[in-house]
Amino acid sequence: MASATVNPDLQKERQRATFDADQLTYFLYDGPANTRRKRYLQNLAVQETEKYKFRPIATLSQEQQYEQALMRSFISGQLEDRLELKNAKELSFLREAVAPQVAVPYGLHMSMFMNTLETQSTEEQKARWLPLAKSFRMIGTYAQTEMGHGTFLRGLETTATYDAKTKEFVVNSPTITSIKFWPGGLGKTANCCIVMARLITRGHDYGMHPFLVQIRDLDTHQPLPGITVGDIGAKFGFNSNDNGFLRLDNVRIPRDNMLMRYSQVLEDGTYVKPKNDRLTYGTMTLIRSNIVGGAARSLSMAVTIAVRYSAVRRQSEIQPGAGEVQVLDFQTQQMKLLPLVATAYALTIASRNMAAFYLRVRQQIEQGTLEELPQLHALSAGLKALSSWQATEGIEACRLACGGHGYSHASGLPKLYGTGTPLVTYEGENTVMMLQTARYLVKCHGALQQGQKLPSLMKYLEQPPGGSSGLDPRLDLSDLVTAYQHRAARMVSDVSAKLMSAASQGQKPYAAWNSNSVELVEAATAHSEAYVVKSFVETVSTFSGKLCSVMETLCRLYAVRGILKSLGEFMQDGYINSQQAKMLRSCLADLLAEVRPNAVALVDAFDFPDAVLDSALGRWDGQVYQALYDYAVNSKLNEKQVLDTYHKYQRPFMESQWKKNTTVAVPARL
Amino acid sequence: MASATVNPDLQKERQRATFDADQLTYFLYDGPANTRRKRYLQNLAVQETEKYKFRPIATLSQEQQYEQALMRSFISGQLEDRLELKNAKELSFLREAVAPQVAVPYGLHMSMFMNTLETQSTEEQKARWLPLAKSFRMIGTYAQTEMGHGTFLRGLETTATYDAKTKEFVVNSPTITSIKFWPGGLGKTANCCIVMARLITRGHDYGMHPFLVQIRDLDTHQPLPGITVGDIGAKFGFNSNDNGFLRLDNVRIPRDNMLMRYSQVLEDGTYVKPKNDRLTYGTMTLIRSNIVGGAARSLSMAVTIAVRYSAVRRQSEIQPGAGEVQVLDFQTQQMKLLPLVATAYALTIASRNMAAFYLRVRQQIEQGTLEELPQLHALSAGLKALSSWQATEGIEACRLACGGHGYSHASGLPKLYGTGTPLVTYEGENTVMMLQTARYLVKCHGALQQGQKLPSLMKYLEQPPGGSSGLDPRLDLSDLVTAYQHRAARMVSDVSAKLMSAASQGQKPYAAWNSNSVELVEAATAHSEAYVVKSFVETVSTFSGKLCSVMETLCRLYAVRGILKSLGEFMQDGYINSQQAKMLRSCLADLLAEVRPNAVALVDAFDFPDAVLDSALGRWDGQVYQALYDYAVNSKLNEKQVLDTYHKYQRPFMESQWKKNTTVAVPARL
């Protein structure tokens, strides 16, 4: 992984850290034993993958990227078999190292497709389908989104109409907007597909239900009759994956290809309603907690690259004539990166705590208690949005903080961004997510007005309005939490009052909702941020020794930076006053200086192998310029000194210009 | 350009506009005659280019992109000849339409290279070189940036050492970090190059000077001895351009290949200093004003795409059961896009006003007055940074506001972002730019303390501190300008006080500068924003009739949105109070609703042909789904139903999995 010599600036950074980065790594990977196991798996994966000498993914055409991704899946599959891996975390570490930020075409098969079969099929269906799916006879994907329809599920147009005579469903894309669009692996890889379609039986439309539709011949892989399927073309990222479209023209499937664990259609066409569909919320929450974790992980990679490079990169002087300094010594550079290091930890911790909360709620559900489900659901929507926004903005900020070289694919940062940014719009568009959270917050506020008690995460709404912050230069952690909670409570209360006032003026609730939706999103964001800060504070308090004080500083940096970013929201009701605002600005400068010496150790602790970062700038050994040069020299354009295009296009163009100026004398050398 | 049918939603939007979009177009393109000429040129260019049936640039490999860009240059060159175009604006409209957001390899030849020859050569050198450059015998580029050195020019390492015996300079890249890196067209296209190198003569280092270095044989195009040159590999965007690296190993060039208009080296090696180098500031300012204009134009394209798509896209309901609405009717969507429409106009206007200011200052300089140059220079640095930040963030916000489809290259938005975002780091990294502006602001503040009068743009710093804003719900435009100026003045004063207090505590000025640099950047940003708002207000006041009231509303939206975004900075000293903050939030909602009906007309006024937008979502006719489907169907991956990769990789992988489960019965159909 490392070359013989480590850049001395980077070495010095590691020596001057005030805490043991390994201790933090153990926290991130659940102890020394699991950390060792993670390292073993990732090293093995890296070694195995290096044998193939893959070209950087960004230098390949779409077809070549797709081909490489299939090969990577092959490598991963073989290793998984050999090691008999089953544990989800171990699998994710292995796959991360075999295909770092490379979207593999079997991705949706192994997640959404299998998952839906397992959770939505009857036992009989599972027995029939799972062996086929697990052994890759069926390679599936999950087709919900249509060209004209995404987040608003009731708008989906695909139909599955039951024909009682043949005991089949007839599946159709009635319009161009109803064509299924975007599912990963759908274009060229999958031979079957869960299709979400409006179930129509006996002339009645029962809305969205899942159907298993075979789309390609299991042997020849040719599309079946009535199926038009293909790749959707080049995208901003994810080009190794064949996101596809699917048009269904009177495709007939057997009745029992409808996934019937919940709803059913009997042979005669009778529709049988599900008993309880609240449990499906749970799965969605789990997916969202994975998104929060994934967002945190992408941001962790980006800050690792940018911080290491900023420790190695010397540019400009601070003291005139005293030589160029590490760019990490500039306060402006610290301001760009150190709050993002803090954000990476804040989101990592929030995702862990949310996952733990999910497990607790699931246990409760199994015991018949649904009480905490709504607040978990609201939290998961808000955190999904907040984390994906903060992470993808953060990745871009890291890229820009690497100057010109960040723009080269050699930096690894464009790839991280291309893979990370879809999180903002998929699995629930972020603004819609925040509005879901807001709806719950407003509901809680209403309940409070009626004297009801609120569930655990919402208790803070009960504090009386007004008052002023106790924040002083000591930056007590609980004062920071209280400030975030006060601001969220104030915003929920303000926007609730506006909704009520609109109602009292005769405005329809839905119109009032829309005309206050900007503030509703802001309130939901404030609620989500309050959770992240609280969660960060609670977790670092469990640390001890030097690590504890380092992480407390990082936590303060995250919280203070967040307050200053939205300062008006904290000052609007006078909760934070002018003196405190000034004081917080000074504290921010101090916190940056305090975190600075530990910056490299804090990113080292994420423990990413070089191959996972896939970055000339983020290398463990800091030998960035040689790596950048090697990347350049290997450009496809350098395979020939003089390209064919020179003779085909450049030279003729030049000659056409010469003809206009035949009198110009051309020397052999200038 | 348009299909027979325009989407009815879009048609309705155009009918309900309260002003004549053409009037605004005439403002943007300097009157009806120039607008017609622009349309004529762009239509011709589009028709000519369509004959080549180019594939979308994003679907091509790097080599293919490079090839296509060369072809586009060829088309453009032929048209320019045929039409005998000389006018810079006309050329830019033509090139925009032939190669929309496609970086052409001759770009730097036609701009920086020619420009430098013209401004830095002696008359004798011009007579020798310009005919060669104009007739494309020499194809040049401009090599300044090195692998390890960018914005800090004194850090550059390349040397040009004078050898009086042979009357030559010996040009060298002494280290890996000194390798020239990034210049456009350098990798494969250019045969010569302006190399910025440290001039060393008679044992003395005189710092950076420009040298003309031939790098490839003019006939065979092979690199000359001592030259290692090549492409730097795949980047986030700009892949149609061969950004290159250049390593110089004792390359000898004649003495008079040094560009000697200002400094000279005599035959015996004597160095002759330039008389006055202040004029070079002027050119830099012009380049920056072009960047501001370019940033504005990219953002204008992005908002055109996003606004039109949001008028056509129907998703989710506002009134339950009343059907899906245009997403532009959601307040949250308006909030994402309408302030960006305002920003596009604000930056367009700022760039025009800055260019006019530049012309005035240049006239003054020619008359021997340099008084206004420093404030112009400071303004240009700040606006370069502000505009590129606002534009590139805005383009991304537009992309995300298009939901999932924004992520497809079919939307045109990833290309716009890839081409736009380098503005943040090139031609002076933005943070460094803002710090240059800040240095001038602090200097002005110091001059003020000593009772001196300030130049025109800085006068506002003279207003006494304190006081409170007169802003009320009428949102008087001059109150908005005053608010921005007050905030900037307060921030300049605060940070100046911190610098002085640090000095009085014995801190070195450079250390104090660094430890306050975050606030210095914020102050410079505030100054730049104040200019943009003032410039917007002054310009819209010259409009008349309905257009005037529409543009005043847009101007208010820009200003109010900006205040709320940085509300804490306006509230910190009590200048804006809690009631006003609340009032501004309500005004923002009203302004969004007011601008909403004119949204489509406002973007139509930018008058971009469909081919320039190159977007399935931004089409004039609004037929977005058919365009998106056509784009998908044309994916390279769809040329075969079953790809070779299926047989090569997927099938073997599947079969390796089957072997583990030989007992599974596989049906012919599921």
Predicted local distance difference test score (pLDDT) of residue A661:
72
Residues of chain B with pLDDT > 90: what percent?
Answer: 85
Report the SS3 class of residue B466.
Answer: coil
Residue B44, both tokens: 């011709």
A593 band by pLDDT with thresholds 50, 70 and 90: very high
- What is B480-506 written as a DSSP string? HHHHHHHHHHHHHHHHHHHHHHHHHTT
ipTM of the complex: 0.96
Q: Mark the binding-site residues of A, compressed into ranges.
A: 145, 184
Q: Tell me whether residues B664 and A403 touch, CB distance under 8 A.
A: no
Instruction: Find, among A451, A454, A442, A570, the residue nearest to A512 by Cα.
Output: A442
CA distance A424 to A441: 22
Q: Examine the pLDDT at B410 and tell me if it is beyond 90.
A: yes
pLDDT of residue B646: 94
Residue B184 is labelled as binding a ligand: yes
Give the pLDDT score at B425.
87
Sign of the alpha-carbon torsion through B253, B255, B260, B265: positive
Tens of pLDDT, residues A129-156: 999 999 999 999 999 999 999 878 888 9
Predicted local confidence at residue B151, as pLDDT: 78
| Interchain CB contact of A316 with B (< 8 Å) | yes
Q: How far apart are CA A489 and CA A372, in angstroms?
A: 20
* Any A CB within 8 A of B403 CB: yes
Chain A residue with minimum CA distance to B416: A236
What is the model's pLDDT at position A279? 57
Q: Mean pLDDT across the stretch B620-629?
A: 97
Which residue from B220, B233, B567 is facing A568, i.e. has the nearest CB?
B567
Question: Are residues B231 and A61, on separate chains, in Cβ contact within 8 Å?
Answer: no
Flag whether residue B223 sits within 8 Å of chain A, measured between CB atoms.
yes
Count interface pairs A-B at CB distance under 8 A. 428
- Angstrom CA distances, A646 to B143, B191, B244, stand at 21, 12, 16
Map tokens 């002023």 to a residue: A468
User: Does residue B155 carry a pLDDT above 60?
Assistant: yes
CB atoms B435 and A332 under 8 Å: yes
Contact A62 B657 (CB under 8 A): no
Three-class secondary structure of residue B453 per DSSP: coil
Nearest residue in B to A411, CA atom: B235
Nearest partner of B467 among B449, B480, B486, judged by Cα: B486
In chain A, the percentage of residues whose pLDDT exceeds 90 is: 85
Name the residue type at position B133.
Answer: A
Which of these ranges, A553-557, B563-567, B652-656, has the smallest mean pLDDT? B652-656
Number of H helices, E strands in chain B: 24, 13
pLDDT recorded at residue B290 = 87
Is pLDDT above 90 for B660? no
Residue type, A1: M
pLDDT at B2 > cutoff 80:
no
Alpha carbon of B552: minimum distance to chain A alpha carbons (Å)? 22
Which amino acid makes up residue A451? G
Q: Say yes or no to pLDDT of A1 above 50.
A: no
Which of the four pLDDT bands, split at 50, 70 and 90, describes residue A2?
Answer: very low
Please answer yes or no on whether B425 and A409 come within 8 Å at the CB atom: no
Residue ranges of the annotated binding site of A for FAD are 145, 184
For an interface test with B, give the residue of A336, A564, A635 to mutate (most B CBs within 10 A): A635
Min Cα–Cα distance to chain A from B331, Å: 6
Q: Does A150 touch chain B (CB under 8 A)?
A: yes
pLDDT value at position B281? 58
Tens of pLDDT along B95-133?
999 999 999 999 999 889 998 999 899 999 999 999 999
pLDDT for residue A365: 82
Q: Which residues pair with B196 in a beta bridge?
A: B210
Collect all residues of chain A within an 8 Å Cβ-Cβ radius of residue B318: 510-511, 514
CB contact under 8 A, B233 and A410: yes
Tens of pLDDT along B629-643? 999 999 999 999 999
Distance CA A81, CA B254 (A): 67
The CB density around residue A480, as the number of other CB atoms within 10 Å, is 23
Q: Are strands B192-201 and B159-163 parallel, antiparallel or unpaired?
A: parallel
Nearest to A611 by CA among A36, A26, A43: A43
Q: Which of B80, B90, B427, B519 is catalytic?
A: B427
Chain B contact set for A235 (CB, 8 A): 407-409, 414
**B454: contact with A, CB 8 A cutoff:** no
3 state DSSP class of A214? strand
Q: What is the mean pLDDT of chain A?
A: 94
Q: Note if B429 is an active site residue.
A: no
How many of the other CB atoms lie within 10 Å of CB of A369? 11
Q: What is the pLDDT of residues B545-556, one digit of tens each?
A: 999 999 999 999
Identify the closest residue of chain B to A577 by CA–CA distance.
B572
Shortest Cα–Cα distance, B620 to chain A (Å) = 18
Burial B292-319, CB ≥16 within 10 A → b, else e: bbbbbbbbbbbbbbbbbbbbbbbbbebe
Q: Hey, what are A521's tokens?
A: 């999103």
> Averaged over B22-30, what is the pLDDT?
97
β-pair type (B227-231, B168-172): unpaired
